[in-house]
Amino acid sequence: MIVCFDIGGTAIKGAVAYSANDIRPFPRQPTPIDDFDAFVAVLQSVIDQSGGRPDCVALSIAGVIDPDTRRAVVANVPCIHGRRLQQDLEAALGLPVLVANDADCFVLAEAGIGAGRGHRVVFGVILGTGVGGGLVIDGHLINAEGGFAGEWGHGPVAATEAGNPPVHLPRFACGCGQIGCVDAICSARGMEKLHHHLHGETLTSEEIVKAWGERDPLASRTINVYVDLLASPLALVANVTGCTIMPTGGGLSNSAELLAEIDHALRARILRKFNRPLLVKAECEIEPGLIGAALLGLSYRAA
Q: pLDDT tens digit string along 95-134? A: 999 999 999 999 999 999 999 999 999 999 999 989 999 9
- Looking at the fold, whether 146 and 252 belong to one and the same domain comes out as yes
Q: What is the pLDDT of residues 44-79, one digit of tens each?
A: 999 999 988 999 999 999 888 888 899 998 888 999
Confidence band (pLDDT; 50, 70, 90) for 230? very high
Give the model confidence (pLDDT) of 265-300 as tens digits: 999 999 999 999 999 999 987 788 899 999 999 987
Query: Do residue 132 and residue 79 come from a single domain?
Result: no
Nearest to 5 by CA among 54, 51, 75, 52: 54
Number of domains composing the chain: 2
Is 158 a residue whose pLDDT tops 90? Answer: yes
Domain-located, residue 188: yes
In the prediction, which pLDDT does 235 show?
Answer: 97
Question: Measured between alpha carbons, how far is 67 from 235 in angstroms, rounded to an integer?
Answer: 27
Kindly report the pTM of this predicted structure: 0.91
> Is residue 205 domain-resident?
yes
Q: Is residue 223 part of a domain?
A: yes
Q: What is the pLDDT of residues 4-33, one digit of tens each?
A: 999 988 999 999 999 988 999 999 999 999
Structural domain contains residue 111: no
For the cut 90, the answer to whether the pLDDT of residue 221 exceeds it is yes
Both 180 and 90 in one domain: the answer is no
Residue 110 within any structural domain of the chain: no
What angle (nearest 5°) sits at the alpha carbon of residue 146, between those of residues 143 and 147?
75
Q: 302 falls in which pLDDT band (50, 70, 90)?
A: low
Do 294 and 277 lie in one domain? The reply is: no
How far is Cα 48 from Cα 174, in angstroms, rounded to an integer?
42
First to last CA, the chain: 14
Domain CATH code at residue 262: 3.30.420.40
Residue 115 contacts residue 280 (beta carbons within 8 Å): yes
Residue 277 lies in a domain: yes
Identify whether 263 is part of a domain.
Answer: yes
Domain that holds residue 38: 2-105+286-302
